Structure 1
Amino acid sequence: MADSSKIVLDDKNNGEEIEIDPSVLEVIMGIAAEKVDGVAEMHGNVRSGINWVLGREDLRRGVEIRVNEDGDLIADVYVGLEAGCNVPKIAKDLQKSLRQQVLQMTDLTLKEINVHVIGLVFPEEEEQDDSGTSQLFSDIDEKDKNESTRES
């Protein structure tokens, strides 16, 4: 590896090198992670929070790539899962999907994919109907109207 901030792919047959910035892998993995069933959201860090405040979409949000001492790629993925899902199954599906995407697009193999479940996301309840309460009070309103019409 020439530079610790770049991942270098060597073609030993003709001596060519391709440098890949880790943020490219983070974007690939971020997009792939959002497509896995059961993943509700990606959790980012301060950088992605600032980008969100500024109105920029951060596609690498929730993914961190690093290279260990042996030159192996290690990924940490921070997700929020849908409540009621099978957490171990979704984590395995997530690892499988991310490993395949990175291998397919860059020919790199991830040594580890650590899935950090930050929380569970509960489905938004439908906009609450006030019809249940309005029906309760509509009877009272009807009685009031009837009584006021009787008095007049």
Structure 2
Amino acid sequence: MKIKNELGYIDISRKAIADIAGNAAMGCYGLVGMAHQRGKDGLIEIMSGEQASKGVGVKIDDDGKLIIDLYVIVEQAIKISVVAENIISAVKYSVEKQTSLKVKRISVNVVSVRV
């Protein structure tokens, strides 16, 4: 993603945006970790720390706005909708503040619930 200013260009990779989003999500209460679903057998691997960005998909629409998909594992006995709303809020704030890019949509996909 290129941003043009009076001094030149700033190029922000999708990986950098995914890192920001993953780290912001990991700071939310009720989140066990990010999920990376592999293969057709439905194996789910918990990603945390530096690997958290593997549970994040970043797309850029025609208007230059970001579409972020998060794949998460949440704690049991906590209302999923509240956790998802907190994740959306934290990710939107962090990404927009750190990159100056606008977020169009954030989708939180709950892959699993853990104890």
Aligned pair partner of 1:9 in 3, 13, 32: 3
| CA RMSD of superposed structures (Å) | 1.6
**Number of residues of Structure 1 aligned to a counterpart in Structure 2:** 105
Matched, 1:82 2:41: no
In the TM superposition, what is the alpha-carbon distance from 1:110 to its structure 2 partner? 0.8
Give 1 or 2: higher helix fraction.
1
Identity %: 26
TM-score (norm 2): 0.84
Determine which structure has more spread, i.e. the larger CA radius of gyration. Answer: 1
In the TM superposition, what is the alpha-carbon distance from 1:15 to its structure 2 partner? 5.2
2:65–2:101 CA contact under 8 A, matched in 1? no
In the TM superposition, what is the alpha-carbon distance from 1:108 to its structure 2 partner? 1.2
Q: Indicate the residue corresponding to 2:54 in structure 1.
A: 61
TM-score (norm 1): 0.64
Structure with greater contact order relative to length (CA < 8 Å, sep ≥ 6): 2
Q: Which whole-Å CA distance do the structure 1 matches of 2:36 and 2:112 have between them?
A: 13
1:45–1:61 CA contact under 8 A, matched in 2? no
The within-5 A match list for 1:106-145 is 106-122=99-115
Aligned pair partner of 1:30 in 22, 31, 46: 22
Q: Which whole-Å CA distance do the structure 2 matches of 1:118 and 1:31 have between them?
A: 18
> Structure 2: where are the runs of 5+ without partners?
39-44
Q: Indicate the residue corresponding to 2:10 in structure 1.
A: 18
Give 1 or 2: higher strand fraction.
2
